[in-house]
Each structure stands twice: as structure tokens, then as C-alpha cells.
Chain A
């Protein structure tokens, strides 16, 4: 018998009884706090930061202001062109020298302070973790309240990779001291900006 069939047979002969029905996941009452301030506060608690920007020009200026020493800005977002376009990156190893990665997220989650990113936005998944710093553009209108709401809006199987990113890479592995930039991005900055029309 193949390992597969042996495992399935062993499982079948040992299934616990009586079986419990699969529960429906109910809606939970939401608190009254407006979503955007709640998202921003939670993002900060996770070690990230956010700024409101008026338009694409303001977004570009903000990136220049926050990262004056950045040599390589690699962008996947239309509002901030960057010196390098991620669409031109053939192999993830080419992202090793990226100082600032820029990408637009289609969804934010208030309770987690998290932004959702898939290959659709990142184009090359390593952009989210190899960049020294990450800037994420987010439409303030695309923030939902809870993880339940978030999973209700996304189609997981549509992208090989999808990540909820809540703040930068972090570790508390040495005596519980929180350090940002363990292995992935050292900082996560969310720029609140609706996508340009057309």
C-alpha cells in the first residue's frame, strides 16, 4: 500500500465518533470606533506608521522625505514610479539591493493593523521581504473591521502568495526585547491615498 493509502486507511479506521457538525461562523457585533483611526492605531502598535497624503505627488515627496539616503527605490505602484520597476525584475535575487520597496494594497484590516498583499500587487513576492524598508499605499476606504471581514473579501486560491503584513519584520527572541528588521523589512510605512481614477 502506498504511504498515501496507508495513512488514509489508518485515519478512516480511527475517526472519532460521534462527529460534530461544522459550525457556521456568525457575524460578531462591531464596536463603534471608526475604522480608519482604529487601523492606524493598531498599525502603530504593531510597529508600523501611517501618513495621509493628498495625491501621487505628495506620496512621492513623502517617500523622498522619509528615505533621503535611499539609492534603490523599487516600485510596483503607479503613483510612485521608483528608479526600478518591479515588472522589469526577472529574478527575485535582483531585489537584494533594494532600499525601499513600494506597493499598493487592496485591503487593510483595522483590528490587526494589517495590509493584504498578493502577487497581483507585488509582482515579485520577495519585494515585500527583501526591501530594507517597505512603503504601502492604501485607500482609506478599503479598511475592514476584522479578520472575518477580510477573509470574506479575498480569494485565496487566486494568487500563489498572499500575506497580511502587520508592521515590519520583528523579533523578541533575545530576552523579549522587540527589535524591528529581524530578517524582512526594517520599517513599514502606510500612505493613505485613494487610487487615481481612470
Chain B
């Protein structure tokens, strides 16, 4: 049986290091702040959200048709279209193409889907060298860690961590943690790899049914290097990435980077329609549980996600605990609602790794009801009997107390009296995780109910 991810324990480990926690919190909140500034500059933002949401819902409700349309148009342009039911099939298809072309090394740009499929270890085991071309992704690859954020994969690391890593792997000066120096060292190390690569691999942010092409958004232009230097380009595309028309891109491109980092657009918004001269283009359309989710009335809206990361940046739990605490491909609020769909036992703790504050739902550019879905996943976890013992006991006690007014009022008064009179060690101990890093507010002299009865009942 899969061991469940201990999100709380992983977060606690990250939080224990004050420098990492506070820098992470500041940087991630900075992206949320920049998002707000960018959104304020677009008067029609709410209209765009509604359009984006409806375009996605429409596409998903006719997904079979749009997939066929995409396939037909892509094929007409000379693109080879492959289909994969699951991660194993995806990896096998990719390897087959690479093997047939004698590929020994490839330039890979960021793809959450390829991450989801565990593609890189699969290819490396078969003797293919994979170089991540996004700086943050390459940092994570060298460190043997998965990305901690959809958009900025190494955001949980301090510059000193990167300096130590590059000193070990690239021979840089271990005492120089200047980000400019470190980025330049990576550029110099990566360029010869890019020039020697036999193939380039990318994901896709959008696939357009009407034109048979797809769009990749990056800030480094690294996807373009992988796609334009070697003669072979393979793109992995989740079937939910379809949109009907080229004109729809206007809506999504206007929202994607504003939601992610607060810039009007990514530095590179690249469109691929068929192979270039003397080149070959392959597209792998991947299901991997997406069609199951499509049939779930409670959870199919999660397929609208455009992977901007806004929900992560705004989430108080994510900002403090970092993306690695989710122990999954997708972290943050979107991860909480996507990951249990892949493995409910392994990710049974994730729906509780949330304060249900609802901020994620408010910033989502495609209006996914993220916080509602988190609550619904809690119910699924409970219904499957997967709640941990402490949650079961605690919830039952709470349930009984709330269900009986007399018990509740008694508990209220006892609670207040306890807060005033109990010694500190009884309130702030290891059995009460809420006591860590928190002081309880001063207890009032009477409960609201007592005050109400005295002051309002008999005027």
C-alpha cells in the first residue's frame, strides 16, 4: 500500500528554517502582489475570467470533437499525432520516437505533464541524457528534487543553496551567491548541451483545435531553443489543453502571465504549427486520468486549469510550508484538488493542508471552484474511511458538541475559564499544533451569549 504523504511534517521541516520560510513567503506573496497590480490595469478582467471559464467549459463538454479537429488539422500540417492513455504509454511512445531517431541527448523545457508521467527518469534509465533548459527546473534537476512551484520551480531555495549546488556541479565559486553570476554560469554550461542535443521536448500551454497547432509560454525562450536547434521536436499535451479557436488565445494569453507573475505577457509566447523545413514534429496527446475526472460532477472543473500558479501564490499554507510539502507533482491549492484524483490513499492528507480561506478561488483566472473542491475532497477522504485517527476523534467530539447546545455553552465557558486559569504548558504543548508559533488571544470575561442575555434579551 502507498504510504500517505505527511504534508504537515514536511511543512514543519521547511518552516523550522526561519531564513527559508520568510524569504519564500516574501517572494511568493510578491508574485501575488504583482498579480494584483497587473489585474488592476485591465478594466475588463472579470469579463475575461468569465469568458475564459466558459470557453474552457464549452471545450471540455465537446472535448471528443475538438480533439478530433485538432488531430485532423495537425496532421494536415505534417505533425505526427500520438495518443497515450496513461503515463506508461506516454513514456513508451516518447522513447520509441527518440530511439527510432537515435537520440542520445535532448533539451527539455518545463512540462508539468512530463513531470506527472515521470518521463525523465524513464528516459535516463534507457540511456538518454535529459537536460532541463529552464534555469529553475535545471537547479531542481541537479539537486534531485521535483519542482516546488508550477512557474518558479526553485523558489523555495535561497541564493546560497544555488551557489553551493553550482559549486558542486558546475565548478563555480562557492562564496559567490550573486544571482547574475550563477545564472551566467548556467548559461555557459547549458549552451554546448543545447547545441549537441539530438531532440527538443516541450509541453504546451494551449492546443488550438481550429489550427492544429500549440502554444508554449516561457520567459527564458528555452522552449524555443529546444524546438529550433535540433531537428526533432516532441510535445506532450494533456487532452484538457484544447481550446477551439485561435482568437481564444487573446483571452488566455492576456490572463496567464498577469496571473502568474504580474507581467502583461511571458517574454516568449511561441506557436508551433507543423514541422519546420528539414524538421520533424510529434505531438503526444495524453489522458492519464483526465477522462475519468471529466465524468466527475464535483471535480471536472479542475480540468480548466491553465497552470498559472496564482492559487499557490495567494495560499497562506503554501507560502509558509512551500510546494515540496505536498509531496506531489502539483502543489498548492490546485495540487490539493488534482493530486487525490491520481491516488486518493497517497494524497489523503492534502485536502486538510488548507485553511479553506477561499483566496485561491478568488484569484483563479478560469474560475475553478478550488476551495469548494478542497472541502468536497475532505468528504471523499472521510467517506472512504481514510481520515487519520486524530481527525476522526477530534471531529466526532466537535460534532457532538456542536450538535448539542447545552454541551456547547458549557464548553464555551469552561474554555474561557481554562484560558485564563490554566498554566501555559497545558495550552502550548506538543498535542496542540495550533499553539506553535501562535499566542492565543486574551480571553474575554464572558461569552457572547452571556453578554447578549444580559444586555439585549430584556431591554
A174-B179, A174-B183 as given contacts; A125 in contact with B224, CB under 8 Å = yes
Give the distance in Å from the alpha carbon of A169 to the alpha carbon of B224 in the complex.
11
The answer, among B68, B195, B276, for a CB contact under 8 Å with A160, is: B276
The answer, among B133, B276, B285, for a CB contact under 8 Å with A119, is: B276
The answer, among A21, A128, A171, A174, for a CB contact under 8 Å with B58, is: A21
For B239, list chain A residues within 8 Å (CB): 7, 11
B143 CB, nearest partner CB in chain A, Å: 13
A67 within 8 A of B: no
For A21, list chain B residues within 8 Å (CB): 58
Residue of A nearest to B208 (CB): A156
The answer, among A16, A150, A170, for a CB contact under 8 Å with B267, is: A170
Give the distance in Å from the alpha carbon of A163 to the alpha carbon of B202 in the complex.
15
A43 CB, nearest partner CB in chain B, Å: 10
For B63, list chain A residues within 8 Å (CB): 11, 15
The answer, among B136, B180, B270, for a CB contact under 8 Å with A163, is: B270
Binary flags per residue of A98-140, CB closer than 8 Å to B gives 1, else 0? 0000000000000111100001000011101110000000000
A175 within 8 A of B: yes
Give the distance in Å from the alpha carbon of A174 to the alpha carbon of B153 in the complex.
10
B263 within 8 A of A: yes
A54 within 8 A of B: no
A23-B54, A113-B264 as given contacts; A147 in contact with B83, CB under 8 Å = no
For B47, list chain A residues within 8 Å (CB): 26, 28
Within 8 A of A (CB), among B198-224: 208, 211-213, 219-222, 224
The reply to whether A125 and B228 contact each other, CB–CB distance below 8 Å, is: yes
For B191, list chain A residues within 8 Å (CB): 96
Within 8 A of A (CB), among B51-68: 51, 54-55, 57-64, 67-68
The reply to whether B220 and A151 contact each other, CB–CB distance below 8 Å, is: no
Give the distance in Å from the alpha carbon of A162 to the alpha carbon of B267 in the complex.
13
A11-B64, A161-B227, A164-B268 as given contacts; A171 in contact with B135, CB under 8 Å = yes
For B276, list chain A residues within 8 Å (CB): 119, 125, 160-161
Within 8 A of A (CB), among B132-155: 133-136, 139, 152-155
B248 within 8 A of A: yes
The reply to whether B228 and A17 contact each other, CB–CB distance below 8 Å, is: no
B385 within 8 A of A: no
For B261, list chain A residues within 8 Å (CB): 172
B187 within 8 A of A: yes
For B83, list chain A residues within 8 Å (CB): 2-4, 7
Residue of A nearest to B61 (CB): A19
Interface centre among B133, B191, B246, B275 (most CB of A within 10 A): B246
The reply to whether B268 and A184 contact each other, CB–CB distance below 8 Å, is: yes
The answer, among B43, B250, B264, for a CB contact under 8 Å with A25, is: B250
The reply to whether A148 and B247 contact each other, CB–CB distance below 8 Å, is: yes
A41 CB, nearest partner CB in chain B, Å: 11
Binary flags per residue of B176-203, CB closer than 8 Å to A gives 1, else 0? 0001101110010011001100000000
A14-B292, A183-B222 as given contacts; A157 in contact with B64, CB under 8 Å = no
Give the distance in Å from the alpha carbon of A23 to the alpha carbon of B30 in the complex.
34
Interface centre among A15, A17, A169, A172 (most CB of B within 10 A): A172
A37 within 8 A of B: no
For B253, list chain A residues within 8 Å (CB): 147, 164
B369 within 8 A of A: no
The reply to whether B267 and A46 contact each other, CB–CB distance below 8 Å, is: yes
Binary flags per residue of B263-283, CB closer than 8 Å to A gives 1, else 0? 111111111111111010100
The reply to whether B264 and A160 contact each other, CB–CB distance below 8 Å, is: no
For A126, list chain B residues within 8 Å (CB): 224-225, 228-229
For B54, list chain A residues within 8 Å (CB): 20, 22-23
B162 within 8 A of A: yes
The answer, among B155, B279, B291, B300, for a CB contact under 8 Å with A176, is: B155
For B60, list chain A residues within 8 Å (CB): 15-16
The reply to whether A146 and B267 contact each other, CB–CB distance below 8 Å, is: no
Binary flags per residue of B240-268, CB closer than 8 Å to A gives 1, else 0? 00001011111101100000010111111
Give the distance in Å from the alpha carbon of A174 to the alpha carbon of B140 in the complex.
12
A25-B251, A129-B224, A151-B247 as given contacts; A161 in contact with B272, CB under 8 Å = yes
B18 within 8 A of A: no
Binary flags per residue of A163-198, CB closer than 8 Å to B gives 1, else 0? 111111111111111010111110000000000000
Q: What are 24 A-B residue pairs whose CB atoms fall within 8 Å in the complex?
A: A7-B285, A11-B63, A14-B292, A16-B57, A18-B61, A20-B57, A28-B43, A92-B229, A113-B265, A124-B228, A128-B221, A130-B225, A148-B251, A156-B211, A157-B274, A158-B273, A161-B228, A161-B271, A165-B268, A171-B183, A174-B136, A174-B154, A181-B183, A183-B220
Given contacts A28-B43, A158-B273, A163-B224, 14 further A-B contacts (CB under 8 A): A3-B83, A4-B83, A7-B285, A8-B67, A14-B294, A128-B224, A157-B73, A171-B135, A171-B136, A172-B261, A174-B182, A175-B159, A182-B187, A184-B221
